[in-house]
Homo-oligomer: A and B are copies of this chain.
């Protein structure tokens, strides 16, 4: 389908990120099972719940736009999650695997930060302020999730990994 207006582009990108969020909800529980650090496990469990809320928020966005709730296959997230799964498989349970999991989840977060940043800006430029506000809430959650992962990486998890380096 040709995308000819900023509104159509907004809808296409919302469909992309909706599929991306669904991929995350499918994959994250399996990743969480492989985490050793209780702090990291708890942060990812919290983010899984947050992600479910973000999906509901996107459903509100579809409704406000008068569009069907429907994703469009997100190749970017598929590649990021495949790379993460392979990298996790290359490690045994422990601090190094936890460091891989943090890196993989930060790639996921950053994909979302880029995507939500764009759709928030486009919605705002189209004067769809209520849509822009919903997307801004999620954008801030993704930014906070990324910061939390950086904090964990810089403290416990990787310092322990260093011990066995």
List residues of A whose CB falls within 8 A of some B CB.
Answer: 1-9, 12-13, 16, 74-80, 82-84, 86-87, 90-92, 95-96, 99-100, 102-103, 106-107, 109-111, 113-115, 117-118, 121-122, 125-126, 146, 150, 153-154, 158-159, 161-162, 164-165
Contacts and interface: CB of A to CB of B under 8 A. Distances in A.
Nearest to A105: B114
Contacts of A117: 106, 150
Contacts of A153: 118, 121
Contacts of A158: 6, 121-122, 125
Contacts of A6: 95-96, 99, 158, 161-162, 164-165
Given A3-B100, A91-B2, A122-B99, A111 B165 contact: no
B92 A118 contact: no
A46 to B, nearest CB: 19
Given A110-B114, A115-B107, A96 B162 contact: no
Contacts of A13: 103
A81 to B, nearest CB: 9
A20 to B, nearest CB: 10
A73 B137 CA distance: 35
Contact of A114 (B76, B86, B103, B125): B103
Contacts of A9: 91, 96, 99-100, 161
Nearest to A10: B165
